[in-house]
Structure 1
Amino acid sequence: MATALVVGAGIAGLATALRLTRSTWEVVLIDHGKHHDPVPLKGPDLQAAKRLAALPYPLYYETRHSTVTSLQPDRFGVTVAFDDHEDEWFDIVVCAQPCCEADRLPGLRLESWSRNHVALLYKAVQDTEIPLCAAELLADAFDIYPDDYAAFSWWETTLKPHTVRRAFTRVR
């Protein structure tokens, strides 16, 4: 069975964990335990939330007061180092919040949201403002493609056309 580490128990992290669990992934969800204010749902996210709420699947959820200190992707998955316990290996890692140094790894910067078995979901969500739909699309990609690289590429090309580019104006 494929294993996934989802870092961040906000709305995007929970949606990713639930959707991957539905696809028979073994999911570990970690968070540092902070509680967030409720997120208002509307549009596509509201529809995604309704679909996700109907999932009767068990979810292995573990809250850790730990930090991801490094990610070391190889050809088959990712070795994750934590600050307070031993390293663990996962098929994929989904960073649903700016949780670690994932975006500083070689090949994960620039315009990419994913590389080498690591998905930077928080970056896609930040760019699109549709966290539940992004989580569903990511899990759909893993259902459709057996190869992680192809799944990540499909996810990026499917989501990027819907990104919202914010225009910042200078205040004088």
Structure 2
Amino acid sequence: MATDLTAFARTALVVGTGIAGLAAALRLTHNAWQVVVLDHGTHHDPVPITGPDRHAARRLAALPHDLRFETRHSTVTALRPDRFGVTVAFNDHDDEWFDVVVCAQPCCRAERLPGLGVDAWSRDHVALLHRAVRDTGLPLSAAELLADAFDVHTDEQAAFAWWETTLRPHAIRRAFTRVR
């Protein structure tokens, strides 16, 4: 008897359709996640792909370009994390639950989640990808490493810890270069 594997797929909400958000969505769908992407209709200037992002871009281009994610034009009005995931409230339809929320751009009050420190990029099943990108200047690398973290770790807390630890040296290096 065949089993429908999509019934067991992990779910992710990616807020933002910039380069980091789309890269994260692409990698997650490649690894059998069910992904919903929110597009607020804001378009950004082209992002120069240099340094470590060139390697990430090559890896992403090698993936199949089957964009199997759903795109919506909704707005997040609230995030309510629990032990297992996040209930997301939207402006135009009923609340939905996701295993993980990836904020590739600022989303509602995600920055004010309890216990989220000023220097933290993740908390309670919510990844603040936009903050990691701002701190490192590496949108593709940050998105790819986040997806790698979910490949390596089945527990979101362990995945987030690995992602922050792996990416943090790039933020320190960037802050050091700006000061000089």
The TM-score normalised by the length of structure 2 is 0.88
What is the root-mean-square deviation in Å for CA atoms of aligned residues? 1.5
* Structure 1 position 49, deviation (Å): 1.3
* Pairing partner for 1:87 from 73, 81, 95: 95
1:106-141 CA deviation, whole Å, 9 max, x = no partner? Answer: 022322110110000011110000010011111111
Structure 1 residue matching 2:89: 3-state secondary structure: strand
Larger deviation, residues 5-14 vs 80-89: 80-89
Q: Does 1:113 align with 2:114?
A: no
Q: Which blocks of at least 5 consecutive residues in structure 1 are unaligned? A: none
The 8 Å contact of residues 38 and 75 in structure 2, kept in 1 or not, is answered as no
C-alpha distance in structure 2 between counterparts of 1:36 and 1:148, whole Å = 30
The alignment covers a number of residue pairs equal to: 168
Q: Does 1:61 align with 2:61?
A: no
Partner of 2:86: 78
Partner of 1:165: 175
Partner of 2:4: none
Q: Residue 155 of structure 1 aligns to which amino acid in structure 2?
A: W
Tell me the percent identity.
Answer: 67
1:12-56 CA deviation, whole Å, 9 max, x = no partner? Answer: 000100111111111111111122221111111122112212321
The TM-score normalised by the length of structure 1 is 0.92
* Pairing partner for 2:131 from 123, 135, 155: 123
* Structure 1 position 58, deviation (Å): 3.5
C-alpha distance in structure 2 between counterparts of 1:168 and 1:156, whole Å = 22
1:1-172 alignment to 2 at 5 Å? 1-56=9-64, 57-64=66-73, 66-163=74-171, 164-165=174-175, 167=178
Structure 1 residue matching 2:27: 3-state secondary structure: helix
C-alpha distance in structure 2 between counterparts of 1:112 and 1:58, whole Å = 30
* Structure 1 position 168, deviation (Å): 6.6
Q: Residue 68 of structure 1 aligns to which amino acid in structure 2?
A: V
Structure 1 residue matching 2:49: 3-state secondary structure: coil
The 8 Å contact of residues 7 and 30 in structure 1, kept in 2 or not, is answered as yes
